[in-house]
């Protein structure tokens, strides 16, 4: 159901809300006068891009980052320009959502090899022999 591009979910622009403020990052005097920090907010609960299963997984996995009304916010002030911060925040938001909606990978049961088990037992035996050789003989 979701729009994906290069494996990453692309959130539609109409579902995002932006806020810009003064940045504390690099930029000297420029940073004191420009609103270069970008914060993007996306409502997980009212999103149309995810199906119900994906919303449930995302809500569970992002619960510590969601606000009380189900909004996920990501900010970026890494760059001097608002445009680059805006793009960085959007990419980070889409990465978070993509990771959160990914289905749980089933664990494929594996067994230790016989050789690995034998190496473990040999190491235990050597350690035991070493400790036995340190004991005082009566």
pLDDT tens-place string over residues 40-95: 998 888 888 888 888 888 888 888 888 888 888 899 988 888 899 999 999 999 99
| 3-state per-residue secondary structure call for the chain | CCCEECCEECCCHHHEEEEEECCCCCCCHHHHHCCCEEEEEEECCCCCCCCHHHHHHHHHHCCCCECCCCEEEEEECCCCCHHHHHHHHHHHHHHHHHHHHCCCCCCCCCCCCHHHHHHHHHHHHHHHHHHHHHCCCC
Architecture of domain 4-101: 2-Layer Sandwich (3.30)
Distances (CA, A) of 67 to 7, 42, 51: 26, 10, 20
CA 27 to chain centre: 28
Question: pLDDT (tens digit, 9 = 90+) per residue, 85-127?
Answer: 999 999 999 998 888 888 888 999 999 999 999 999 999 999 9
* All structural domains of the chain with their residue ranges: 4-101
Q: pTM for the full model?
A: 0.68
CA 56, 62, 67, 71 torsion: positive or negative?
A: negative
Q: What is the pLDDT at residue 138?
A: 66
């Amino acid at each position: 159901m979701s729009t994906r591009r290069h494996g990453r979910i692309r959130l539609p622009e109409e579902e995002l809300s932006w806020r810009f403020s003064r940045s504390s990052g690099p930029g000297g005097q420029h940073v004191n006068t420009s609103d270069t920090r970008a914060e993007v907010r996306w409502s997980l609960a009212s999103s149309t891009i995810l199906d119900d299963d994906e919303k449930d997984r995302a809500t569970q996995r992002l619960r510590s980052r969601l606000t009380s009304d189900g909004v996920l916010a990501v900010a970026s002030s890494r760059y001097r320009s608002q445009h680059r911060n805006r793009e960085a925040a959007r990419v980070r938001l889409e990465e978070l959502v993509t990771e959160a909606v990914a289905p749980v990978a089933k664990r494929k049961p594996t067994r230790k090899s016989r050789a690995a088990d034998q190496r473990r037992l040999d190491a235990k035996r050597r350690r035991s022999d070493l400790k036995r050789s340190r004991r005082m003989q009566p």
